[in-house]
Amino acid sequence: MALYITDECINCDVCEPECPNDAIFQGDEIYEIDAALCTECVGHFEESQCVEVCPVDCIPKDPDNEESNEQLWEKYYRVTGETPE
Structural domain boundaries enclosing 58: 16-80
| Three-state helix/strand/coil letters over the chain | CCECCCCCCCCCCCCHHHCCCCCEEECCCCEEECCCCCCCCCCCCCCCHHHHHCCCCCCCECCCCCCCHHHHHHHHHHHHCCCCC
Domain assignment present for 57: yes
pLDDT at 85: 75
CATH number for the domain that contains residue 76: 3.30.70.20
Is position 49 within any domain?
A: yes
pLDDT tens string, the chain, 85 residues long: the values are: 799 999 999 999 999 999 999 999 999 999 999 999 999 999 999 999 999 999 999 999 999 999 999 999 999 999 999 988 7
Predicted local distance difference test score (pLDDT) of residue 1: 76
Is 3 a member of any domain?
no
pLDDT at 83: 86
**Does a structural domain hold residue 43?**
yes
Q: Does 5 reside within a domain?
A: no
